[in-house]
């Protein structure tokens, strides 16, 4: 036990001490619920058998003809008596003509001891990025005596990168009570800007955790409606961001349907190199979803808090999560309630009369 906690502490210290970056990966408001494999590769195979999810995000629909869109799909499987997991993840992101595609193979190993679980995950990614220069406008295209844009005289080199990237993560589940994890993406900081010699895919550090507020009734049974407060902290180059919030959910183990509702705050803390060290308020996120059998449908809406609010328009996310074998022999007995997929339905305790 002492060795495991020492290993976990050293891993977190290593992640915090070794980051460096200059840009940001795509982000998702439902990251801590619908996209666990994007949050931390240690989640791979953390369900009973199969899990699949698809999420679509359209961001700032009032900016640049609604050209900020992201898509993520993932699938993973628990094998070898819940000790290993294999997964696959695909991410597509378009930001006003700059397109990034990432396909990732994932593996995790899960160690169980005294009711708790320690998971360690790895990911290998192939990344392609490109810039569509035809959507850009330059100063020499404008003429006072012309009503239409002229052809630019600017010349361009290659704006394509094709590189491998690697990630790793660790996750500790404290019985049925709490979880704490850390992950690092782009460990090798692949692809460098030939002008400034900085990583085009900089290292990203994620630390996340939360609590399980499940309680037992007078019969020793788990309450059907529960709360899951949590946080996600990310740092990538000069950008740091904290998500904090809570999801409330009803499990589908009794009548085959359930729900989830939640609220999250997302803040952006930017270093001096970006915005004179000022603190940025980003958004409030409202989330709601419905579970029917093995499927959960979730929608979230971002309420923009930044100065971009009058111009940005709405930000929406839609996700579908599939998890099989929920209502059969699995001890969780159905219903997706939280991102950690804890054992939410332990056996009834024998209490002294």
Kindly state whether residue 283 falls inside one of the protein's structural domains.
Answer: yes
User: Residue 47 is part of a domain; what is its CATH number?
Assistant: 2.40.160.60
CB burial class (10 A; 0-12, 13-18, 19+) of residue 153? exposed
Kindly state whether residue 336 falls inside one of the protein's structural domains.
Answer: no
Name the one residue in this structure whose structure tokens are 């709405």: 314
Name the one residue in this structure whose structure tokens are 């994890």: 181
At 10 the pLDDT is 38
Kindly state whether residue 330 falls inside one of the protein's structural domains.
Answer: no
Kindly state whether residue 107 falls inside one of the protein's structural domains.
Answer: yes
Which residues, in sequence order, are CB contacts of 295 under 8 Å at separation 6+? 320, 321, 322
Three-state secondary structure readout of the chain? CHHHHHHHHHHHHHHHHCCCCCCCCCCCCCCCCCCHHHHCHHHCCCCCCEEEEEEEEEECCCCCCCCEEEEEEEEEEEECCCCEEEEEEEEEEEECCEEEEEEEEEEEEEEEECCEEEEEEEEEEEEEEEECHHHCCCHHHCCCCCCCCCCCCCCCCCCCEEEEEEEEEEEEEECCCEEEEEEEECCCCCCECCCCCCECCCCEEEEEEEECCCCECCCCCECCEEEEEEEEEEEECCEEEEEEEEEEEECCCCCCEEEEEEEEEEEEEECHHHHCCCEEEEEEEEEEEEEECCEEEEEEEEEECCCCHHHHCCEEEEEEEEECCCCCCCCCCCCCCCCCCCCCCCCCCCCCC
Kindly state whether residue 335 falls inside one of the protein's structural domains.
Answer: no
This prediction has a pTM of 0.79
Kindly state whether residue 261 falls inside one of the protein's structural domains.
Answer: yes
Kindly state whether residue 16 falls inside one of the protein's structural domains.
Answer: yes
At 150 the pLDDT is 67
Give pLDDT tens digits along the chain (353 positions). Answer: 443 443 344 344 333 333 333 457 888 998 878 889 999 999 998 887 788 999 999 987 767 666 789 999 999 998 866 689 999 999 999 887 788 999 999 999 988 888 788 999 999 999 998 877 666 666 666 766 666 666 766 666 556 788 899 999 999 988 778 899 999 999 988 765 544 555 677 899 999 999 888 765 556 566 677 888 999 999 987 788 899 999 988 877 667 788 889 999 998 654 444 444 445 788 899 999 998 888 889 999 998 887 777 777 788 999 999 887 544 444 444 444 454 554 443 333 444 44
Tokens of 51: 């899990």
Tell me the C-alpha distance between 28 and 318, whole Å: 11
Kindly state whether residue 150 falls inside one of the protein's structural domains.
Answer: yes
At 97 the pLDDT is 76
How many structural domains is the chain composed of?
A: 1
- Give the domain extent around 101: 2-323
User: 228-238 burial string, b = 16+ CB within 10 Å, else e?
Assistant: bbbbbbbbbbb
CB burial class (10 A; 0-12, 13-18, 19+) of residue 155? exposed
């Amino acid at each position: 036990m002492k060795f495991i906690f020492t290993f976990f502490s050293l891993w977190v210290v290593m992640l915090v001490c070794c980051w460096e970056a200059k840009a940001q990966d795509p982000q998702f408001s439902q990251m801590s619920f619908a996209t666990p494999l994007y949050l931390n590769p240690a989640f791979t195979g953390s369900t009973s058998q199969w899990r699949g999810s698809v999420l679509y995000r359209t961001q700032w629909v009032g900016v640049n003809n609604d050209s900020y869109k992201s898509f993520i799909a993932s699938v993973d499987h628990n094998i070898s008596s819940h000790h290993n997991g294999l997964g696959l993840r695909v991410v597509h992101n378009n930001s006003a003509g700059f397109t990034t595609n990432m396909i990732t193979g994932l593996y995790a190993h899960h160690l169980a001891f005294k009711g708790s679980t320690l998971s360690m995950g790895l990911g290998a990614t192939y990344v392609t990025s490109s810039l569509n220069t035809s959507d850009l406008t330059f100063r020499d295209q404008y003429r006072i005596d012309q009503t239409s844009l002229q052809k630019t005289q600017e010349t361009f080199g290659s704006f394509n990168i094709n590189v491998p990237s690697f990630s790793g993560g660790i996750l500790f589940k404290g019985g049925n009570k709490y979880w704490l994890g850390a992950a690092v993406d782009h460990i090798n900081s692949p692809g460098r800007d030939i002008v400034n010699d900085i990583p085009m895919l900089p290292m990203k550090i994620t630390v996340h955790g939360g609590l399980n507020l499940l309680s037992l009734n007078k019969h020793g049974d788990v309450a059907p409606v529960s709360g899951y407060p949590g946080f996600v902290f990310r740092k990538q180059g000069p950008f740091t961001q904290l998500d904090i919030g809570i999801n409330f959910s009803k499990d589908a183990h009794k009548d085959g349907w359930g729900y989830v509702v939640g609220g999250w705050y997302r803040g952006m803390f930017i270093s001096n190199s970006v915005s004179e060290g000022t603190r940025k308020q980003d958004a409030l996120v409202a989330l709601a979803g419905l579970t029917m059998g093995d499927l959960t449908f979730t929608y979230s809406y971002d309420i923009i808090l930044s100065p971009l609010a009058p111009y940005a328009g709405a930000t929406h996310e839609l996700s579908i999560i599939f998890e099989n074998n929920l209502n059969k022999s699995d001890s969780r007995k159905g219903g997706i309630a939280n991102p950690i997929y804890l054992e939410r339905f332990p056996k009834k305790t024998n209490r002294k009369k």
